[in-house]
């Protein structure tokens, strides 16, 4: 089920799009509605839509301002712009800000279906091409800080991305929880240190991100089925 956000100041249009998405198409549900970009930004501070449909002209914060902020917060979330016939100069600017496509008012069922299909196809293509840039950034950060703080808050602050976006996007593309991935990488580092160095267990624990050696041994045994010392005895 794709979770949709609609950003549109006219309630009638929001409701019309909602009906189209939920009653005509399968696999889509409108989870959030916002009457302007300002309200939409408040929502995405805690939520991560799969697709955003946004009007280009709205009060308080228009579509272009919203898209500009969105580029920094949720760069990988596809956006469809809703525009009128006289808004093409705005639409050109919107494409520069990374929108996937645009729909003219009044929105036609066939055109909405075509745009959604295009986005689905791009998602499938991206999956075959490997990790998107944000996943590579997360993985690189983890590799550089295996012995240090790898809390979701630290990763979020370092990459300037919302924690919900990080955890949800990582799981979506890797099919592994972020915390499980971090443990796996730390355990691989510990195994490498155990087999290639003469360091003490507590030193290896510390270098693998576990200040508490007892806790490290417990996690290691759960992961590999043997304690660090047992593993070290086998390889030496």
Question: What are the tens digits of pLDDT across the range 129-143?
Answer: 556 788 889 999 999
Least trusted range by pLDDT, from 59-63, 179-183, 199-203: 59-63
Classify each residue of 55-83 as buried b or exposed e, where b means 16 or more C-beta atoms within 10 Å of its C-beta.
bbebeebbbbbbbbbbeeebebbbbbbbb
Across 92-119, average pLDDT: 88
Least trusted range by pLDDT, from 3-7, 128-132, 137-141, 176-180: 128-132
pTM check: above 0.85? no
| Rounded Cα distance, 143 and 150, in Å | 10
Question: What are the tens digits of pLDDT across the range 185-217?
Answer: 999 999 989 988 889 999 999 999 999 999 999
Determine the pLDDT at residue 136: 87
For residues 203 and 137, membership in a common domain is answered with yes
**Which residue segment(s) compose the domain that 218 sits in?**
133-235
Determine the pLDDT at residue 127: 55
For residue 145, give the H/E element and its range.
Answer: none
Angle ∠(25,27,32) on CA atoms, nearest 5: 95
Helix 163-174 and helix 133-144, axial crossing angle in degrees, nearest 10: 100
Q: How many CA atoms lie within 13 A of 194 on its CB side?
A: 25
Gap between the terminal Cα atoms of the chain: 51
Residues 6+ apart with CB under 8 A from 44: 5, 70, 73, 74, 162
For residues 146 and 100, membership in a common domain is answered with no
Across 72-97, average pLDDT: 83
For residues 118 and 147, membership in a common domain is answered with no
Question: Which residue stretches of 129-227 are H helix?
Answer: 133-144, 152-159, 163-174, 178-196, 201-207, 213-224
pLDDT at 124 over 70: no
CA proximity to 211, closest of 147, 144, 150, 143:
147
For residues 45 and 146, membership in a common domain is answered with no
For residues 151 and 180, membership in a common domain is answered with yes
For residues 16 and 120, membership in a common domain is answered with yes
Domain count, the chain: 2
Better-predicted residue by pLDDT, 66 or 63: 66
For residues 121 and 155, membership in a common domain is answered with no
Q: Which of 87, 110, 128 is the last residue of a domain?
A: 128
Determine the pLDDT at residue 27: 85
Least trusted range by pLDDT, from 40-49, 88-97, 113-122, 197-206: 88-97
């Amino acid at each position: 089920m794709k979770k949709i956000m609609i950003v549109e100041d006219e309630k009638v249009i929001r409701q019309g799009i909602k009906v189209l998405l939920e009653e005509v198409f399968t696999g889509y549900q409108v989870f959030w509605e916002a009457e302007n970009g300002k309200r939409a930004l408040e929502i995405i501070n805690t939520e991560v839509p799969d697709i955003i449909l946004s009007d280009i002209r709205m009060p308080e914060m228009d579509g272009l301002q919203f898209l500009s902020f969105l580029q920094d917060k949720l760069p990988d979330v596809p956006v469809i712009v809703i525009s009128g016939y006289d808004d093409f100069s705005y639409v050109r600017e919107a494409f520069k800000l990374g929108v996937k496509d645009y729909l003219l008012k009044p929105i036609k069922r066939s055109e909405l279906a075509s745009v959604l299909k295009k986005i689905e196809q791009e998602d499938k293509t991206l999956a075959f091409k490997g990790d998107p840039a944000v996943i590579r950034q997360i993985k690189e950060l983890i590799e550089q800080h295996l012995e240090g703080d790898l809390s979701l808050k630290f990763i979020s602050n370092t990459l300037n991305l919302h924690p919900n976006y990080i955890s949800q996007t990582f799981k979506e593309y890797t099919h592994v929880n972020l915390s499980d991935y971090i443990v796996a990488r730390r355990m691989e580092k510990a195994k490498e240190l155990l087999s290639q160095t003469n360091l003490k267990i507590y030193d290896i624990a510390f270098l693998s991100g576990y200040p508490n050696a007892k806790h490290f041994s417990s996690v290691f045994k759960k992961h590999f089925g043997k304690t660090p010392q047992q593993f070290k005895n086998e390889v030496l």
